[in-house]
């Protein structure tokens, strides 16, 4: 199924769910559980708890089925909305299990780095593979799952503040505050990466 078909099918199923269609929940679950599992499995490899992804996608789909009105079709496609929600559920789960609860950290306001300099293809490939020496280093530099996720989103080219705010669980704040906090998080992560990984190292790794 291509993206356009998926979008159309999602809109139709979502509207049917809102209208109280009796089979819509089953159809939505069958459509999205495997898609979300594939998405999270690709993003979070070698998890210590192999069932964490199952739990996250089930939580996410169940929450959506019970409160479909929370999804705003004007802001994102249903698949993107569910991807963000499942990613957030997984991060929360991982944080509860083995990482200290994270809080929103404000950056120290030092100078900014441009995304172009950081956004180099070899780094993306290496990190996404999660088995390279680069990934070992990244995972040490950014031990928090939420930071890793922000890094992945930056590499994905995600630009919407709302998506980062969702991951950081600050979407209750004003748009302006969200933008400030998200920018600081992104800058902090870029700074860490640039401070510890030299472009020459990446070239050697290719």
Partner 1 sequence: MNEISGQTLDQLSMLAHRLSNDPSYIAWVLRSFQNQERMSDQQLEERLRISPRMLTRLALCKRPDSNSPDFGQQITKISRYVAIDPTDLAKMIRQVESLEALRNIPDKTVKENLTSFKSGLLAAARDRENNDEEITKNHNTEGDDATG
Write out the residues near partner 1 by the rule CB under 8 A: 20-26, 29-30, 33-34, 37, 54, 57-58, 61-62, 65-66
> Cα 28 from chain centroid?
21
Q: Of 33 and 162, which has the nearer Cβ to partner 1?
A: 33
Residue that the structure tokens 């600081």 belong to: 184
Smallest gap from Cβ 86 to partner 1, in A, equals 12
Nearest approach, Cβ of 29 to partner 1 (angstroms)?
Answer: 5
Phi and psi torsions of 197, nearest 5°: -120, 120
Cβ proximity to partner 1: between 54 and 97 the closer is 54
Pick the closer one to partner 1 by CB: 66 or 206.
Answer: 66
Residue placing its CB nearer to partner 1 in the complex, 26 or 115 = 26
How far is residue 146's CA from residue 4's CA, in Å, rounded to a whole number?
A: 30
**CB of 5 or CB of 116, closer to partner 1:** 5
Whether residue 178 contacts residue 105, with contact meaning beta carbons closer than 8 Å, is answered with no
CB of 38 to partner 1, least distance (A): 10
As measured in angstroms, the least distance from the Cβ of 172 to partner 1 is: 26
Find where tokens 């593979």 sit: 129
Helices and strands per DSSP (H, E), number in the chain: 11, 0
* Backbone φ, ψ for residue 141 (5° rounding): -70, -35
CB of 24 to partner 1, least distance (A): 7
Please identify, using beta-carbon distances, which residue of 32 and 71 lies nearer to partner 1: 32
Among 34, 49, 46, which Cα is nearest to 135's?
Answer: 46
Minimum distance between the CB of residue 30 and partner 1, rounded to whole angstroms?
A: 7
Task: Count the Cβ atoms, other than its own, within 10 Å of residue 91.
Answer: 24
**Spatial CA neighbour of 16 closest among 181, 52, 130, 8:** 8
């Amino acid at each position: 199924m291509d993206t356009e078909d998926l979008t159309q099918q999602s809109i139709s199923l979502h509207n049917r769910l809102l209208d109280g269609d009796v089979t819509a929940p089953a159809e939505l679950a069958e459509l999205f559980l495997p898609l979300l599992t594939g998405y999270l499995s690709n993003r979070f490899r070698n998890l210590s708890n192999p069932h964490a992804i199952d739990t996250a996608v089930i939580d996410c789909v169940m929450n959506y089925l019970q409160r479909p009105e929370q999804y705003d079709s004007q802001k994102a496609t249903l698949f993107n909305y569910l991807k963000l929600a499942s990613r957030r559920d997984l991060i929360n789960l991982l944080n509860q299990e083995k990482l200290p609860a994270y809080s929103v950290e404000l950056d120290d306001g030092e100078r900014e780095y441009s995304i172009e300099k950081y956004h180099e293809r070899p780094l993306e490939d290496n990190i996404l593979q999660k088995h390279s020496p680069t990934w070992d280093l990244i995972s040490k530099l950014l031990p928090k799952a939420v930071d890793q996720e922000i890094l992945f989103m930056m590499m994905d080219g995600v630009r919407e503040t709302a998506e980062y705010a969702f991951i950081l669980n600050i979407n209750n704040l004003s748009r302006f505050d969200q933008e400030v906090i998200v920018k600081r998080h992104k800058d902090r992560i870029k700074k860490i990466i640039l401070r510890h990984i030299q472009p020459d190292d990446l070239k050697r790794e290719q």
